[in-house]
A and B are shown apart, each in its own frame.
Chain A
């Protein structure tokens, strides 16, 4: 077969279609931006997407695991905010060393996630309700700790926040970007090369079948919420690196952005099908829309929400159509 024939004979697998659509959308949006604004064409615009949204990316990766099992995690925004507030409080008021703060924040996220997972699995409470509890609980905790948004001047945090890693072409990324990409890589490995990951897909495909096949469903279900809690806490830390403050009212509505990114990235809300790479594309699409609207300058930033709404609608319909064939 000639190379050309091979290319023309290529038929994407059906389950890859939503992800390919997202990729096409991303490339299209970028090409449009580059054609309208000269500054848009520089590579730094893309790198800035990663810099600005690395925290959301990490949160969305955790959400991907949850949605793959057919669940949902509404608590992520509150856990992100809690992480920022906890960081500021422990570093400032309590004077903890930076490393201890990082460990403590991650542990809290993991613990909250595990708690919600246990609630969902052992008490058979719908994920929506259990994580709604988490949403209120964590947000309330934020405001109990602090109603202000103190800035952070810890040396370690400042260094991580301000270090720029130079890239060819006069571009740069932040350390947070590397952390986020590492999380993506680990998540991809977990999902596709470990039993845990395959069980995540199995539970999303049919929980009842997974039980009857003798898979470790209980452990897996609790684990995905624990993982999501951990990712939210890590996302919170990345947000601290980005903003250098701990705001109890930050990341409101992040859970919805994360869910939107996962769905636009081609993961099916009912579970069992989707890729972490799709989630990366989903987050980039959200960022790209925001950037385009920023560049335009005349549109209010609420247009971002409108476009996201339209995209979500389009992708959900697309998934329906694919599933029906």
Chain B
């Protein structure tokens, strides 16, 4: 299957990190004069694949053939010498050095071993002019805008007479005009015969610039497609890994919500680098679903509401009063509970018993000066083990020995005994079996009937749609739509995620 025209062929790439298979038998190829997009959700293995290509990580299995020669890169400098240049997501430049130095450091023009500063500045000006950028190249890079830094990083990548240019999320911090300019540069480079690897969360940009794309999911290859053979909705489906047909037959649940009092309201709440300003209302007894790809800002939004991160803009009102939500403690004080996405590291303490885990949050809310009596602890544990059907029904079992679904229930129990008014569930059903899943879903419905507001985060759209009265759609760390769930279908949500056109 070797195509002689390919400048780069990676075959059967496997990469393991302790406990995780990050890449599993991934094939990837690139052609000169083509822009190739690498697509996938966060954690799909895009960054890892790029890093194996650029020499940051070694590979555990597979081959990399560059320009017909098998290569193995032990470190980034080797990949650069071989003609693979990379502009990383977080622009990896040196703000304490000048623009010109950032382009040339490590390859400075020299005369008799001495750096030739004037030649360096001249060449930097020429290179940047080629990218339509005119500025004082001896200024510190730290004084320049992100867009300029991006261009400088590209200029640096180009100077090594690269054959393969890797752009990892180059547009994530640029405004629309800057993006247009960058895409223009990418097209120019492609027309000059460069193979450009373009990674972006912005599906519209990918469709605007790419010729070919490879989709990854969970470290595995989903497929390689010509851009004209795939639609944005197809792409999202492939990235998420659910066939649309499978989603068609979800039950039409009745989503009439009586509409309680507004419990929580945000106005322009935001946190730099985490989530763009959003306004949201959550009523008592309402179930609000958050939909969006992994990395679209779902968890970040939830963490702001709970106080796990503090906002740097906007206001948050609870029962109409403005509240400064700075720590989880303030969240708990307002009876907001947050069930973390990562139950192993952020939620449960595996070395403690079921009973101890269940009373943890309540004890924390009371403060250590008012310990819960052992009898009360046993009582509470027994009640919730029974109510949530936690198995085995042994309050003194260690949590780490329980199955995932039961661990999740213990975590739920912990928050439920604090009698929250808003319960935030971040991926409560991930990785648990279908039975436990249904029970948790049923519990959410019951809580809602009892007047508890629930913010439900899940990657599974059908689950979000089945439970929620209202669905908030996120894309690229921004709330792009809020829809009442009358008769929403996964297709509609997918379309919003893919294009962000509907509001």
Q: A residues near B, CB below 8 A?
A: 15, 192-195, 198-199, 201-202, 204-206, 208-216, 272-273
Contacts and interface: CB of A to CB of B under 8 A. Distances in A.
A205 B97 contact: yes
A206 B80 CA distance: 19
Given A201-B96, A206-B92, A214 B80 contact: yes
B401 to A, nearest CB: 35
Interface residues of B, number: 25
Contacts of A198: 97, 101, 105, 108, 115
B114 A194 contact: yes
A195 B114 CA distance: 8
Interface in B29-51: none
Given A198-B108, A215-B106, A205 B95 contact: yes
B233 interface: no
Contacts of B75: 211, 214
Contacts of B353: none
Contacts of A195: 105-106, 108, 110, 115
Nearest to B95: A205
Given A201-B94, A212-B92, 19 more contacts: A15-B96, A194-B113, A195-B106, A195-B108, A198-B101, A199-B106, A202-B94, A205-B95, A209-B93, A211-B75, A211-B76, A212-B56, A212-B76, A213-B76, A213-B93, A213-B94, A214-B76, A214-B79, A216-B77
B448 interface: no
A61 B113 CA distance: 22
B384 interface: no
Contacts of A202: 94, 97, 105
Interface in B65-95: 75-77, 79-81, 86, 88, 92-95
Nearest to A210: B94
Nearest to B81: A214
Contacts of B56: 212
Contacts of A214: 75-77, 79-81, 106
Contacts of B79: 214
B338 to A, nearest CB: 31
A193 B96 contact: no
B88 A212 contact: yes
Contacts of A204: 96
A209 B76 CA distance: 11
B106 A213 contact: yes
29 contacts: A194-B113, A195-B110, A198-B105, A201-B94, A201-B96, A201-B97, A205-B94, A205-B95, A205-B96, A205-B97, A206-B93, A208-B92, A209-B92, A209-B93, A210-B94, A211-B75, A212-B56, A213-B76, A213-B94, A213-B105, A213-B106, A213-B156, A214-B79, A214-B81, A215-B105, A215-B106, A216-B106, A272-B96, A273-B96
B140 interface: yes
Interface string B155-168: 01000000000000
A202 B156 CA distance: 15
Nearest to A274: B96
Nearest to A189: B114
Nearest to B160: A214
Contacts of B76: 211-214
Contacts of B101: 198
Nearest to B115: A193
Interface in B396-433: none
Interface in B363-390: none
Contacts of B140: 15
Nearest to A197: B115
Nearest to A212: B92
Nearest to A208: B92
B156 to A, nearest CB: 7
Contacts of B106: 195, 199, 213-216
Contact of B86 (A199, A212, A272): A212
Nearest to B143: A14
B172 to A, nearest CB: 17
A192 B80 CA distance: 25
A199 B88 CA distance: 20
A214 B75 CA distance: 8
Contact of B105 (A192, A199, A272): A199
A210 B140 CA distance: 16
A64 to B, nearest CB: 15
Contacts of B110: 195
A202 B92 CA distance: 11
A272 B94 contact: yes
Contacts of A273: 96
B91 to A, nearest CB: 9
B269 to A, nearest CB: 25
A49 to B, nearest CB: 30
Report which residue of A204, A208, A209, A273 has the largest number of chain B beta carbons within 10 angstroms of its beta carbon: A209
A15 B141 CA distance: 13
Contacts of A201: 94, 96-97
A212 to B, nearest CB: 4
Contacts of A211: 75-76
Contacts of A199: 105-106
A192 B110 CA distance: 12
Contacts of A210: 94
A206 B97 CA distance: 11
A194 B156 CA distance: 19
Contacts of B77: 214-216
A202 B106 CA distance: 10
B148 to A, nearest CB: 16
Contacts of B80: 214
Nearest to B140: A15
Contacts of A212: 56, 76, 86, 88, 92
A219 to B, nearest CB: 11
A194 B115 contact: yes
Nearest to A68: B96
A15 B94 CA distance: 15
A204 B113 CA distance: 22
A6 B467 CA distance: 71
Contacts of A213: 76, 92-94, 105-106, 156
A210 to B, nearest CB: 7
What 10 pairs between A and B have smallest CB-CB spacing?
Answer: A214-B77, A205-B94, A209-B92, A272-B96, A205-B96, A212-B92, A214-B80, A193-B114, A214-B76, A215-B106
Contacts of B113: 194
A228 B118 CA distance: 31
A208 B108 CA distance: 20
Kindly name the residue among B79, B81, B88, B156 whose own CB sees the greatest number of chain A CB atoms within 10 A: B88
A107 to B, nearest CB: 24
A211 B140 CA distance: 20
A206 B105 contact: no
Contacts of B114: 193-194
Nearest to B104: A198
A195 B97 CA distance: 13
